[in-house]
Chains A and B, each alone.
Chain A
């Protein structure tokens, strides 16, 4: 038991300390940042946060942009994935197997390699610099996993429940509304959170599609900060930015840990 406690403490330190170090730096004055281990003369400050919040465009703008892209992508993905998953769960074994293998392979694909062609498409269709348009590639990239998760949720529903509803006179739309949606709600929630996290965090496509600084998403904003600061020492403001960028996600993970874990594990077991 003792050994496990020590291991768990090491695990927690390993998981949290890089982030805690950012928090520590973000509250330190520039002189204290240069001597991080001189605890006696350490001076605390909120100045770094004020700098980040007052920057132009203000930092919350990036959070808002990411939240918008995250939500629209999630909605669009679910809108496409739920009917598709239902169809797959109702198709015969052979078709289902082939579709699932195809989806599994696409979900393995390192999507970074797609950026060039997607950029060309965005230019041709003139949808660069448009937050809502960004949800189209995000949905496409999330669809394979979303369909895998939701189709196994549909498959797990006992057939006879839907049949009982059919005999009672419920049409497809009514069955969806009264029976199927409520029953796959937990799987839908898990899927939605995983799509949201992906869209919130996505970098290469957002980087190439969006150039207007008031439209960039959080990861791109952070990378720009990084790019502009390669050799600059006053890191305090950057640390404050990373903390502000990380906190909303940490809240999401802690609130929805059950859904996230069940979503990932369902993906592994059934995928």
Chain B
């Protein structure tokens, strides 16, 4: 009887999460593009040969990794600070928590458009301020070396609240008598952060880091709306490249190859991250 209740949900999850991955692998060893009339034809792995020498793919992988690690690192650090701040008792705490959660709840495309306007040259407020200060325009969104930083800023703005709420939940599970006991033993505030808060917050940090790495690796909406991948493909993510290949170039076979390889690389990074975390855990627990 239990299985009957569970089955409809599991079947739907299976169809949407598991079948695509198998399908991608299958498509990746087929040609399926305008040339074949979008009918898959086996092509002896030429998609795979192509991707190995596709500079744009490797450039996008580099960009995606750069974006992921920069934004997740900043988000985690910022979220710790904000969570510690909002964990204190003060008047109006509920409403301030709600306001700080707003960026997370808004559709990404809406705020990506908003951020594009904020970084607009020359009418956006940032360029305007720089002009007023006499620094001159920096053209951030049309500078291939800087544009990705603008996308990181927008992503940090949008997703820090999510991590912050999870860490806040973690902070609330730490009983306050631990801090009191530590204080009576002569611990300072900074020591109590590193000796009590940080170790006990670890599971929550791990969950948020894993979740954010996976989500940032698949960044799509933000980039597509904010920069369209430009300038000179400098902000293009793997998700966007796969999308362009299927929807603009109508090459489903190659698009599937990109997605499948992205998936494999992501798993690799998750395993690596997991190993690093468990190693550092051992290191930390021996330290304490």
On chain A, which size bracket covers the interface?
35 or more
* In contact, B8 and A80 (Cβ under 8 angstroms): yes
Find out whether the CB atom of A249 lies under 8 angstroms from the CB atom of B220. no
| Residues of chain B with a CB closer than 8 A to A223's CB | 109, 113, 221, 224-225
| CB atoms of B113 and A268 under 8 A apart | no
CA distance A271 to B206 in the complex (A): 12
Q: A18 to chain B: which residues have CB within 8 Å?
A: 103, 111, 114-115, 118, 157
Q: Chain A: which residue is nearest B173 at the CB level? A: A269
- In chain A, what residue has the closest Cβ to B10? A84
B98 touching A253, Cβ below 8 Å: yes
A91–B217 CA distance with the chains assembled, in angstroms: 35
Chain B 106-125 interface residues, beta-carbon cutoff 8 Å to A: 106-118, 120, 123, 125
Contacts A203-B107, A271-B207 given; indicate if A108 touches B214 (C-beta within 8 A).
yes
For the complex formed, measure the closest distance between the CB of A126 and the CB atoms of chain B, giving whole angstroms.
16
Report Cα–Cα, A226/B117, bound state, in Å: 10
Contact partner of B109 (CB less than 8 A), chosen from A118, A222, A265, A271, is A222
Query: Known contacts A116-B252, A253-B105: does B85 contact A222 (CB below 8 Å)?
Result: no
A108 with B9: CB separation less than 8 A: no
Q: Of the listed stretches B44-52, B162-170, B179-187, B188-196, name the one at the interface; the rest are far from the partner chain.
A: B162-170
Give the contacts of B5-55 with A (CB-CB under 8 A): 5-6, 8-10, 12-13, 15-17, 19-20, 23-24, 27
Contacting pair B12 A140 (CB below 8 A) = yes
| A-side interface mostly | helix
Judge if B266 is at the interface, Cβ distance under 8 Å: yes
Chain B residues near A220 (CB-CB < 8 A):
109
**Is A164 an interface residue, CB under 8 A from the partner?**
no
CA distance A82 to B23 in the complex (A): 30
Q: Quick one: CB contact mask for B150-172 with A, threshold 8 Å, 1 for yes? A: 00000001000110011011101
Q: Does B76 contact A (CB under 8 A)?
A: no
Complex Cα spacing A121 to B242, Å: 17
Cβ-based interface call for B101 (8 A): yes
- B125 & A36 in contact (Cβ 8 Å cutoff): yes
Contact between A106 and B17, CB atoms less than 8 A apart: yes
Question: CB-CB < 8 A to B9: which residues of A?
Answer: 80-81, 83-84, 143, 147
Also in contact, A91 and B2, with CB within 8 A (given A22-B117, A264-B169): yes
B90 proximal to A (CB < 8 A) = yes
Cβ-based interface call for B148 (8 A): no
Query: With A15-B161, A112-B239, A114-B20 in contact, is A219–B166 under 8 Å at CB?
Result: no
Is the beta-carbon distance between A25 and B17 smaller than 8 angstroms?
A: no
B17 touches A114 (CB 8 A): yes
Known: A147-B9, A269-B169. A22 touches B105 (CB 8 A): no
Cβ–Cβ < 8 Å partners of A264 in chain B: 162, 165-166, 169
Q: Mark A1-40, 1 if CB is under 8 A from B, else 0.
A: 0001001100110111011011001000000011011000
CB pair A84 B5 closer than 8 Å: yes
Q: A11-B82, A87-B5, A116-B242 are in contact. Are A110 and B107 (CB under 8 A)?
A: no
Q: Which residues of A contact B218 (CB under 8 A)?
A: 110-113
Which A residues touch B165, using CB under 8 A? 261, 264-265, 268
Contact call A219/B19, Cβ cutoff below 8 A: no
Once the chains bind, are A114 and B123 in contact (CB under 8 Å)? no
The proximity string for A residues 230-255 relative to B, scoring 1 for CB distances below 8 Å and 0 otherwise, is 10010100110010011001101110
11 contacts between A and B (CB under 8 A): A84-B8, A99-B6, A109-B214, A110-B217, A120-B23, A137-B16, A140-B12, A143-B13, A203-B107, A253-B102, A268-B170
Q: A16-B99, A80-B8, A143-B9 are in contact. List 19 more A-B contacts (CB 8 A).
A: A4-B88, A7-B85, A15-B99, A15-B157, A19-B103, A21-B117, A36-B128, A83-B5, A83-B6, A112-B239, A114-B17, A117-B19, A140-B17, A201-B106, A204-B239, A219-B108, A219-B109, A242-B114, A265-B168
- B interface list, Cβ under 8 A from A: 2-3, 5-6, 8-10, 12-13, 15-17, 19-20, 23-24, 27, 82, 85, 88, 90, 94-103, 105-118, 120, 123, 125, 128-129, 132, 157, 161-162, 165-166, 168-170, 172-173, 204, 207-208, 210-211, 214-215, 217-221, 224-225, 228, 239, 242-243, 246-247, 252, 255-256, 259, 262-263, 266, 270
By Cβ-Cβ distance, the 6 closest A-B pairs, closest first, are: A110-B218, A117-B20, A265-B169, A140-B16, A257-B98, A84-B9
